Amino acid sequence: MKNIENQSQDKLTLGKYEIIRGHNAYQRVLQNSASFSVNYIKAFVSIQFRKSSDDIEVSPLLKSIVKVGFIIAKKKIRKATLRNRARRIIKESYRLNKNLFLRLELNFSLIITLSELGYELIRNSRNIKSSFFNDDMISLSRQISKHYCKA
């Protein structure tokens, strides 16, 4: 029983290998991306075509289908504490809904940021919870699915 609980809990974690690291990686995604926007969230998606072979042992760092990054602009939210809170809220919302993105069965990198309405909301309302962005994450995954999975 305990193993089942741990397995379902592991699926909802956001590991280091799933997060985009480094300035160059962010630049690469932003330069070669399609932009998707919903009410409060904006996302940049870059499809990566990796050759996967069963014969070659793959590093655990490369096994993730979706790599994700989060950007909150310093020009939009000046205070670091508020920027960090916004990033934590968006990251938590993604973590709870990441199975929607994994279902797409595509290798892609995703950078999530706030839209203008999102920045305004974070600045004006201090008690926003991660569940507030759940509907936006669902509609974002649908937009990406419609764009890339036209079959």
Q: What are 102-135's pLDDT values in tens digits?
A: 887 778 899 999 999 999 999 998 888 888 999 9
pLDDT at 62: 52
pLDDT at 50: 54
Closest by CA to 11, choosing from 71, 89, 54, 65, is 65
Cα–Cα dist 95/91, whole Å: 6
Q: Sorting pLDDT into bands at 50, 70 and 90, what band is 148?
A: confident
Q: Which two tokens stand for residue 76?
A: 């939009």
pLDDT at 79: 94
Decide if pLDDT at 4 tops 50: no
Q: What are 12-63's pLDDT values in tens digits?
A: 788 888 899 999 999 999 998 999 999 999 999 998 755 554 445 555 555 5
Decide if pLDDT at 76 tops 80: yes
pLDDT at 41: 95
Cα–Cα dist 107/117, whole Å: 29
Beta pairing class for 108-114 and 34-37? unpaired
What is the value of pTM for the model shown? 0.80
Q: What is the mean pLDDT of residues 77-97?
A: 93
What pairs with residue 69 in β-bridges?
111
pLDDT at 75: 95
Taking a C-beta distance cutoff of 8 angstroms, is the pair 81, 123 a contact? no
